[in-house]
Amino acid sequence: MKAFDSDSQTERSRIVARAVAVTANTALAPQRYERQLLDRYQRGELTIDQVISLLDASTYQVLYHSVAAQPFDEAQLQALLERSRNFNGRHSITGILLYSDGRFVQLLEGDEQQVRQLYARIQQDPRHTQVVTVSEGPGPARRFADWSMGFGRVAGLEVAEALDLVVSQETLPAPEVAEPYLLALLQAFGITPAATQLGQAEKG
Ligand SMILES: Cc1cc2nc3c(=O)[nH]c(=O)nc-3n(C[C@H](O)[C@H](O)[C@H](O)COP(=O)(O)O)c2cc1C
């Protein structure tokens, strides 16, 4: 499909390369979702205006926790993840799922209608109960643009502590967190876990 008559593919590639170079190592550096949009622009499938309006579209986010009806074994977790990544990838939903001792924490983000519909289905899923919404609403930008559904297995206590921090918006003291997905979840909510030496956290 041709998006431009005047803009050649070479020109679009140069524009993208320049944008990527200028933003490298800054907070604006394009992540996976943004890269996908830029690739589509490069291929002439999207105009730059379409890319900008997709990037500007505010993201709707849901964070919840729940309890597995029966503990999930490895095969069940993998099946759930495979299904989720497949569906989420096709609907531009990104996020993170943490599992610990029969408890789930999940953050979903994407288009409001898509996220609400998916969350409604997840809430009805008999494989878990006690689904509690921690926060829900529009967010400024994708926090997990890189993951159609990042997955981490964490110690129960860490999840509980992390959720307490997210809910209370507390800044101090944050626990030391080693698990990368949990770390990412905390950072997404502006909580920087304690530096080992200082035992303090900053709110970013
Ligand atoms: C903890 C948990 C998280 C889930 N996360 C997702 C998800 O991110 N994406 C997804 O498509 N399905 C997810 N599911 C599965 C959905 O609940 C549901 O089974 C799936 O969307 C199929 O729905 P359907 O049977 O009505 O078609 C999750 C289920 C559980 C228990």
Q: Is the dihedral of CA 68, 74, 76, 78 positive or negative?
A: positive
DSSP H or E segment with residue 37: helix 32-42
Mean pLDDT by 10 residues, the chain (204 residues): 62 85 76 77 86 75 92 92 90 86 88 94 97 83 70 68 64 55 68 44 30
Per-residue pLDDT at 122: 98
Q: Are 63 and 188 in contact (CB under 8 A)?
A: no
CA of 119 to the centre of ligand 1 (A): 8
Residue type (1 letter), 40 = R
Please state the pTM of the whole predicted model: 0.67
Per-residue pLDDT at 130: 94
Buried b or exposed e, range 35-63, using 16+ CB within 10 angstroms: eebbebbbeeebebeebeebeeeebbbbb
CA of 121 to the centre of ligand 1 (A): 7
User: From the CB of 65, is ligand 1 less than 6 Å away?
Assistant: no
Which residues 6+ apart lie within 8 Å of 99 measured at CB?
68, 72, 77, 151, 152, 153, 154
Per-residue pLDDT at 24: 82
Cα within 13 Å of Cα(27), Cβ side: 5
CA of 157 to the centre of ligand 1 (A): 25
Per-residue pLDDT at 115: 94
> What CATH number does domain 59-187 carry, 3.30.70.100, 3.40.50.2000, 3.40.50.300, 2.40.50.840?
3.30.70.100
Identify the residue whose tokens are 């997210």: 166
Q: How far apart are CA 142 and CA 61, in angstroms?
A: 9
CA of 129 to the centre of ligand 1 (A): 13
- Measured by CA distance, the residue closest to atom 19 of ligand 1 is 125
Where does CATH 3.30.70.100 sit in the chain? 59-187
Please identify, by atom number, the ligand 1 atom nearest to the C-alpha of residue 66. 1
SS3 at position 154 = coil
Per-residue pLDDT at 165: 66
